[in-house]
Amino acid sequence: MSKIVAIVGRPNVGKSTLFNRLTGTRQAIVNEESGVTRDRNYGKVTWNGVEFSIIDTGGYMDNSADIFEEEIKRQVQLAIDEADVLLLTVDVESGVTDLDLNMANMLRKIDKPVLVVVNKVDNTERTFETAEFYSLGLSDELYSVSSINGSGTGDLLDKIVEVLPDLEPASAEEEELPRLAFVGRPNVGKSSTINTLIGEDKTIVTPVAGTTRDAVDIHFNKFGHNFILVDTAGVRKKGKINEDVEFYSVMRSVRTIENSDVCVLILDAERGIESQDLNIIQLVVNNRKGLVIMVNKWDLIEKDNKTMEQYRKRILERTAPFTDIPIIFASALTKQRVLDVLKSAVEVYENRKRKVPTSKLNEVMQEAIEQHQPPMNKDKFIRIKYVTQLPTLAPSFAFYCNLPQYVKEPYKRYLENQIRQHWDFKGVPIQIFMRKK
């Protein structure tokens, strides 16, 4: 089960610098070619063996002076709804401001852990200036950090791990059921699809209340398979605000995606695939979950015998380099192909569990490597000796070779494609590692 930490704070206090420091990465995966937008706001951290996600709530708005306080309030409220632990970040250079106080007021009313992080404490003198933040009335302890040089962040991470909720692992029986999630922008037809699926169905076992909030998972049976539909309440609850903003759709999707095995991304056929959809796909891929794309409202499209293929191509142009994705053209309204979506999700679930025997893998891949050797790098020959599939939950492969650092992205993509050509990993992100041998 997922654990989510959100960084909140007014503009310019250093949220994104803190985020980069805590996630230990420069998450600027700007991949212009593939059209996959960068992922500056979401990252995974493992500290003392505990894994959690961090979300930076900043940066979605332009930083002009006329930032609406209303907008900031909404962001904080959403972070409060969606996260398990909140980091209220403040800036020792500017001291306590009205906006800090407003946020503190909102955060004081909730019963989730809130840590006050005083940022920009770059040297000892500045430590003496942090005391004024006790006036926020939020905690007995302040965490003084310098996101720029890293000081204090270890203590902060220790504390985060300490206060994260202990989520009971799901029961053994539940562990084995495929967990499916429906995600997508507002109004694409998520609720309608779920209702079409479970509407009059009498085989629903029980709605199980989520542990941390009002998420409801529904046990469900169709064509001999048992499933869990993840977070149906979150989907079915009507949005109170205009959520057609990237931040909201991503933020709302994080926990749902993390708690699933396979995500069905629903698109509105009349709108096609948009940048927010790509963000959601990025989130699915980062979490190494399975993916099915459902193009909903297909009943509204004027079509001939080429429409579907053209539509499919257009989507895959945007998701590249990940293009081995099932796409189903359906209508929740007329029920056309809605069951195919479910079938496809089950296939993807099985694909994600696929384990390729090492001998067979080497047989096929050695041949592929012989046919197309890794390009020489700095006059050096790269020799790939053998490959194994790692015992991870989602498929990942380690190629052992003499100079792993010299094997570049295009060649890794070649290896991945070869794997995909020989075994069915449709809908499943694959990781390729090069290791020294």
Ligand X SMILES: Nc1nc2c(ncn2[C@@H]2O[C@H](COP(=O)(O)OP(=O)(O)OP(=O)(O)O)[C@@H](O)[C@H]2O)c(=O)[nH]1
Binding site for ligand X (CB under 6 A): 9, 11-17, 58-59, 63, 119-120, 122, 146-148, 184, 186-192, 235, 238-239, 296-297, 299-300, 331-333
Query: Per-residue DSSP letters for 266-327?
Result: EEETTT---HHHHHHHHHHHHTT-EEEEEEE-GGGS---TTHHHHHHHHHHHHHTT-----E
**152 annotated to bind ligand:** no
**186 annotated to bind ligand:** yes
**297 annotated to bind ligand:** yes
| Helix axes of 190-198 and 338-353: crossing angle, nearest 10 degrees | 90
- Minimum distance of ligand X from residue 292's CB (angstroms): 16
What's at 362, amino acid-wise?
Answer: N
**423 annotated to bind ligand:** no
- When CB distances to ligand X are compared, the closest residue is 58
Q: For residue 2, how many other CB atoms are within 10 A of its CB? A: 17
- Minimum distance of ligand X from residue 22's CB (angstroms): 12
Nearer to ligand X, 191 or 226 (CB): 191
**122 annotated to bind ligand:** yes
- Minimum distance of ligand X from residue 418's CB (angstroms): 38
**296 annotated to bind ligand:** yes
Distance between alpha carbon 367 and the CA centroid of its chain, in Å?
Answer: 35
**234 annotated to bind ligand:** yes
Pair type for strands 225-229 and 262-268: unpaired
**298 annotated to bind ligand:** yes
Nearer to ligand X, 149 or 211 (CB): 149
Nearer to ligand X, 282 or 296 (CB): 296
- Minimum distance of ligand X from residue 406's CB (angstroms): 34
The DSSP element (H or E) to which 4 belongs, if any, is: strand 4-8
Nearer to ligand X, 147 or 279 (CB): 147
> How many residues are given for the chain?
437
Task: State the Cα–Cα distance between residues 120 and 122, nearest whole angstrom.
Answer: 5
- Minimum distance of ligand X from residue 404's CB (angstroms): 33
- Minimum distance of ligand X from residue 198's CB (angstroms): 13
Nearer to ligand X, 67 or 368 (CB): 67
C-alpha dihedral sign at 149, 154, 160, 163: negative
Nearer to ligand X, 15 or 412 (CB): 15
Distance between alpha carbon 56 and the CA centroid of its chain, in Å?
Answer: 13
Query: Per-residue DSSP letters for 30-68?
Result: -BTTTTBPP-TTEEEEEETTEEEEEEE--SSS---TT--
Binding region: 9-16, 56-60, 119-122, 184-191, 231-235, 296-299
Binding region for GTP: 9-16, 56-60, 119-122, 184-191, 231-235, 296-299
